[in-house]
A and B are shown apart, each in its own frame.
Chain A
């Protein structure tokens, strides 16, 4: 059935760059996003570097005591610590900052704590802060808190792990978003990744100085927003992946709600903001569980949807466990931290990537081939830019602006100019290549031998620019090109089109021939041989076609006209001429060149036979099955003509020589054969075809590689069986099988 609407919905569109991103190529967007992410990450590193490295840490020792690392003393939790700096004085109990800076339920306490950290940070930044306290024995201590500038090397491992996690998460999310902007699940995944990056980076910065992080409140707010985005993204994904459960409106609602919560917490619009955040987290968790359960339940067991749901469930559970184990449990149990908070993020990232894996495995995001190229190109570009930036920064830090400027000039200007020069010479190279290819094409089409030789010589001259090209006497036996006389000569053997040649002194005598030249010569010879062969095949095809037309004209038209020449009856002569014209019509129609499928050939045969039989008043029973009509093996016009002739002959026989009033035809496909059973209910037994008819049909069947059987017991029946796939017949096969002359 020819159905013009039957185009796969996903066919040519799958994996194509999203039109939504507009005219700018997606690879460029990828680059922009990557560079933006790196810049933000860089900014985060700079921010972390601004935090002072203080030689003082306050950690819990048991329930009532606190260790002051730096002075190296253990004091009671109630001991008052007094910090004195040029900017001011600050006093508070040791125990109150021994705990993690994480927020508590008491909002007022949180605010005090954060303000204290900011003030402390400012004081410590001056570098002249003095700490005074009374130890357990009541002795006064004075300790100058060293605050060194933070250097690159002093950034702790947990900074790096959280920082890298942020970069990777951000890049992963943006990459997926660039590729499938329109896809729901990939958008949610991108949201989750950005959320993770947003949550991870502030904690990386804050983790460096637990005691005195400036602007901790805003870092915490960013962390909260990130977490909310992550949660919203996960919920959003679960509403529609692996199976659509809810309309996108719900996910958007969820996102807006989460962001609202984050905003409220950040701006402290409602008093107990942290409780609100806690409630929001619990709410998200609950919704997630419900959705996960719903996905699990609605997916049939064993399907990809259920597998995806299980993977997401597993990864979500793991993430939650990590978060709870590392962050929340120590707070609740008031023990020291098992693992620094910042380490939690890489673990979460791994889990997050696990979700990505689950999602790609179930064909969430289908990539076109262009994605790999775009990513590789972008990756390379970003690497180059990153290297340049590192170079500049490195030299700046080491030796000051002058050298940095010098490095930048070298990197951008000098190398750029050199690159442009190289490109210029590359273009010339490419132009030469194009001319070489053009010459080879002309060569393969050239008929004249001298012309071929001249073109080949010119091609070699263009490719290698030798000082001299001469016929090669000594290398005539060689099959492949080789370099001789220590690189002074390159011997090119004879090919299908040309004689052996020897080239002397490559590149106008500037260098010797090397392995690269030899390989090039091998490629050129191979190219020449393959194009010459293609040309020969084409010529052969044309010759075969001519032969076929000549044969058809001779056998069919010539035979008929010969028959008509000596007819005495002019009506019969006219009939012969008509039939000869019919033959010519067939030959002409074959030349049209459209290949028909087997189904189409059978349909055409059916129509013709049915029309002729019905016109003769004979009933036709020929079931036209869809299965036969759908056969799409291509049939050569010669084979089609043979088949048509056979059927035509059978119909003619029935119309002219039998008194049948019904014809039954059955066409079936079995075991690689097409079987056609043609039967009529003729008057008497033995109504076999007359004259040449039987011989013709048998001959044609043989030409098709099949056979025909006649059965004259009840009416007349012919069974034609031809194989569906067969090797192309040689052009002479028909000739040999033909009886000599009409």
Chain B
């Protein structure tokens, strides 16, 4: 695992301790912890230089973790991973739209968490057929030109929507599974752009910006 700082934002103390232990074992360094959105923001404001991996819980007592994820998304040295109890499509789409790089199930075993983090580092990306279908719908009429899908990306999404795994989609399209994963990451980035554009439009509508 590359050397970097780790921040864990989690309000349940036992879960926080467990995640910290896992992070310590994997990275070999002591992770920073925060039990609320405010504390996390305070830490990020004066964080040390260097790459950052943040495991952010969505349900925090003083706000949604997704706003921290959105702030971190603008920082190219930060990788935000959302930790969640349920991996339903709504939550995940919201997480990716906010700019998360991946997600972790809090109920997963230690081995699974480690495997997921390694996979994230290796460039893998999580997507399911129902997510693919939703993404196709969501990005059909993009609010910003930068978030329009290319025909290749549409192909990838429709194949995943049909149930193919990333590797199989790569085989059909004649590209490697890494390329497929890169496409999916680009799609998530476009989702992020789209959701930021929508938020900006909304703010203009309400006369806030």
Interface of A is mostly: helix
B153 to chain A, nearest CB (A): 12
B127 to chain A, nearest CB (A): 9
Q: Which of B87, B107, B165 contacts A611 (CB 8 A)?
A: B165
Give bound CA distance, A707 to B165, whole Å: 29
Are A589's CB and B88's CB within 8 A?
Answer: yes
Are A607's CB and B160's CB within 8 A?
Answer: yes
Are A604's CB and B129's CB within 8 A?
Answer: yes
Collect the chain B residues with CB atoms within 8 Å of residue A611's CB.
165
B22 to chain A, nearest CB (A): 14
Chain B 91-104, CB within 8 Å of chain A: the 1/0 string?
A: 00000000000000
For the complex, is A614 an interface residue (Cβ under 8 Å from B)? yes
Collect the chain A residues with CB atoms within 8 Å of residue B154's CB.
4
Collect the chain A residues with CB atoms within 8 Å of residue B178's CB.
none
Are A2's CB and B136's CB within 8 A?
Answer: yes
If A4-B136, A606-B163, A610-B165 touch, whether A581 touches B129 (CB-CB below 8 Å) is no
For the complex, is A1 an interface residue (Cβ under 8 Å from B)? yes
Collect the chain B residues with CB atoms within 8 Å of residue A607's CB.
128-129, 160, 163-165
If A607-B164, A610-B165 touch, whether A1 touches B158 (CB-CB below 8 Å) is yes
Give bound CA distance, A608 to B158, whole Å: 16
Interface residues of B in 100-135 (CB under 8 A from A): 107-109, 128-130, 133
If A2-B133, A581-B85 touch, whether A604 touches B128 (CB-CB below 8 Å) is yes
Give bound CA distance, A58 to B161, whole Å: 89
Collect the chain A residues with CB atoms within 8 Å of residue B161's CB.
2, 600, 603, 629
For the complex, is A624 an interface residue (Cβ under 8 Å from B)? yes
Are B165's CB and A588's CB within 8 A?
Answer: no
Collect the chain B residues with CB atoms within 8 Å of residue A603's CB.
129, 161-163
Q: Which of A581, A602, A604 contacts B130 (CB 8 A)?
A: A604
Chain A 559-588, CB within 8 Å of chain B: the 1/0 string?
A: 000000000000000110110011011001
Collect the chain A residues with CB atoms within 8 Å of residue B167's CB.
614
Give bound CA distance, A581 to B137, whole Å: 29
User: Which interface class (under 10, 10 to 19, 20 to 34, 35 or more) fits A?
Assistant: 20 to 34
For the complex, is A592 an interface residue (Cβ under 8 Å from B)? yes
Collect the chain A residues with CB atoms within 8 Å of residue B130's CB.
596, 600, 604
Give bound CA distance, A588 to B88, whole Å: 8
Count B-side interface residues using an 8 Å CB cutoff: 27
For the complex, is A259 an interface residue (Cβ under 8 Å from B)? no
Give bound CA distance, A599 to B164, whole Å: 13
Give bound CA distance, A369 to B85, whole Å: 53
For the complex, is A605 an interface residue (Cβ under 8 Å from B)? yes
Collect the chain A residues with CB atoms within 8 Å of residue B129's CB.
600, 603-604, 606-607
Collect the chain B residues with CB atoms within 8 Å of residue A3's CB.
158
Residue of B nearest to A580 (CB): B107
If A2-B136, A4-B140 touch, whether A604 touches B86 (CB-CB below 8 Å) is no
For the complex, is B14 an interface residue (Cβ under 8 Å from A)? no
Collect the chain A residues with CB atoms within 8 Å of residue B85's CB.
581, 585
Give bound CA distance, A575 to B107, whole Å: 9
Are A624's CB and B162's CB within 8 A?
Answer: yes
Interface residues of A in 1-59 (CB under 8 A from B): 1-4
Collect the chain B residues with CB atoms within 8 Å of residue A585's CB.
85-88
Collect the chain B residues with CB atoms within 8 Å of residue A604's CB.
128-130, 163
Give bound CA distance, A637 to B85, whole Å: 21
B82 to chain A, nearest CB (A): 15
Residue of B nearest to A615 (CB): B115
Interface residues of B in 153-183 (CB under 8 A from A): 154, 157-158, 160-165, 167-168
Residue of A nearest to B88 (CB): A589
B146 to chain A, nearest CB (A): 18
Collect the chain B residues with CB atoms within 8 Å of residue A581's CB.
85, 107
Are B163's CB and A578's CB within 8 A?
Answer: no
B14 to chain A, nearest CB (A): 12
Give bound CA distance, A596 to B136, whole Å: 15
Residue of A nearest to B86 (CB): A585
A477 to chain B, nearest CB (A): 56
Collect the chain A residues with CB atoms within 8 Å of residue B107's CB.
577-578, 581-582
Give bound CA distance, A600 to B90, whole Å: 17
Collect the chain B residues with CB atoms within 8 Å of residue A610's CB.
163-165, 168
- Pairs A–B under 8 Å by Cβ, sample size 15: A2-B133, A2-B157, A2-B158, A574-B109, A585-B85, A585-B86, A592-B90, A603-B162, A604-B163, A607-B164, A607-B165, A608-B128, A610-B164, A624-B168, A629-B162
Query: B residues near A, CB below 8 A?
Result: 85-90, 107-109, 128-130, 133, 136-137, 140, 154, 157-158, 160-165, 167-168
Query: A residues near B, CB below 8 A?
Result: 1-4, 574-575, 577-578, 581-582, 584-585, 588-589, 592, 596, 599-600, 602-608, 610-611, 614, 624, 626, 629
Known: A4-B136, A603-B129, A608-B128. 17 other contacts (CB 8 A): A2-B133, A2-B137, A2-B158, A575-B109, A581-B85, A585-B85, A585-B86, A589-B88, A592-B88, A604-B130, A607-B128, A610-B164, A611-B165, A614-B167, A624-B163, A624-B164, A629-B161
8 tightest Cβ-Cβ pairs between the two chains A and B: A606-B163, A603-B163, A629-B162, A603-B129, A581-B107, A4-B140, A607-B129, A607-B163
